[in-house]
Structures are given as structure tokens and as C-alpha cells.
Structure 1
């Protein structure tokens, strides 16, 4: 899969889940309960969190509480569809890390995506 951070779409991510580990940006897929169901190798390496530690856990309360705010988590709850890129600063192990986040949500898909472009 030759998707870039800017051109990735939910449909292409869902159509080729076995190709997600070839991407050069992080992919986190989660259900409507915010439980992580997809976590690619790039994100696991960049965040230094193994897939086994993340899959099945709540993204916003257990894995990345720094995303549990109006800019990220609440947008997934309040907006019926999303496809927006925002600049963000992760608070990862007490170090601020600038990233770009892409929030993807479609009304007819059960999986929502957070794409992470690490600086």
C-alpha cells in the first residue's frame, strides 16, 4: 500500500488491513466504545507501546489520556463524520512531542481512525 498520511482514507485502510504495517505513519483504529482494534507496527515503534499492550484497551482513558479532550476524543463523539488534520503535541512519558493527527470517521463504518504523523 502506497498511501501517504494526507491521502489515506478509511475505505483504503479497511480494504487492506494486512498492508497497514507497510505504512510510514501510525494507524490506530478503534470502535465506538474507543477500544483499540487496529494498531500498526509504525505506531507501536514510534510510541514504544507493543501491540499486545494496546489492542482491546480504551484509547482515550487507558492508552493515550492526553488525547481525551475537545480537540480529539470529543470530536469523534460529537461529529457524525470527520476527515481533518490537526497539529498536536503529545505528552508522551512527560516529554512533549509535536505530531500531526488525522481524525477519520465515516457514518457507515464502525471503525474510526486516528492517523499519526510523527515529526
Structure 2
């Protein structure tokens, strides 16, 4: 599984969690309200937050409030509200609880699954 692969959201939805945990990029699965349902090892190590710390927490307000903005959370919320698919990649800088870190984010929504993928640059 690669960060840039076509139809990544579908692949993520069809892959078991042990395989997602071994991916070479961060994978966060969110429920429609933005609560973390899955948080892989890569993302845990990048952010310095354990899986136990983030599961069930709102990603945009409690885990990574630096993403609670028009560029990230608003796009997820709009896709959920409008029940539309989403696949957008953007350059971003994570700043919460770690030194500023350049990343590429891939925002994905496919059917009823929402994913935020993170590749360190």
C-alpha cells in the first residue's frame, strides 16, 4: 500500500488493521463526527501519541487541533454532510505537540469511511 496509489480510500476500507498498522505512512480512520477509530503505528511514532491516547478522541479538536480549520476539518465535515466522496492531497505543517513538521496529507472519504493519511516530507 502506497500513499499516492489510486483508489487508496477503497484499499484502506478493504484492508485489515494489522496490514494498515505496518504501512509506511500515517493512517487515521475517523468516524463521521471526527473521532479516531484507528491510528496506525507510523502515525503514533510521528506524532508521539500512543494509540490509547487518541482512540475515541476527536482528531480535529483533541488530537491535532492544528487541523481544525478550513483546509482539513471543514473538508471532511462537508463530505460527510453532503455524503460525497473525497480524495484530496495537500502540503501541510503539523505544529501541535511537536516541532513544526512538513507533511503531505491525503484526505479521503469513501462511502461511510473517512481517512486521514500522513506522509512525512
Query: TM-score by structure 2 length?
Result: 0.89
Q: Is the 8 A contact 2:47 2:97 kept in 1?
A: no
Q: Is the 8 A contact 2:47 2:98 kept in 1?
A: no
- For 2:119, the equivalent position in structure 1 comes to 117
**TM-superposed deviation, 1:93:** 2.4
Structure 2 distance, partners of 1:44, 1:95, is: 15
**TM-superposed deviation, 1:86:** 0.2
* 1:74 equivalenced with 2:78 (yes/no): no
Structure 2 distance, partners of 1:49, 1:19, is: 20
**TM-superposed deviation, 1:85:** 0.7
Structure 1 distance, partners of 2:29, 2:98, is: 24
Structure 2 distance, partners of 1:95, 1:9, is: 28
- For 1:89, the equivalent position in structure 2 comes to 93
**TM-superposed deviation, 1:94:** 5.6
Structure 2 distance, partners of 1:93, 1:11, is: 31
- For 1:20, the equivalent position in structure 2 comes to 20
Structure 1 distance, partners of 2:45, 2:93, is: 18
Which residues of structure 2 form unaligned runs of 5+? none
Which residues of structure 1 form unaligned runs of 5+? none
1:10-59 CA-to-partner distances (Å, cap 9, x unmatched) read 22112112201121000000000111001001111111100000011000
Query: 3-state SS of the aligned residue for 1:95?
Result: coil
- For 2:63, the equivalent position in structure 1 comes to 63
**CA RMSD for the aligned pairs?**
1.3
Query: 3-state SS of the aligned residue for 2:77?
Result: helix
| Count of residue correspondences | 115
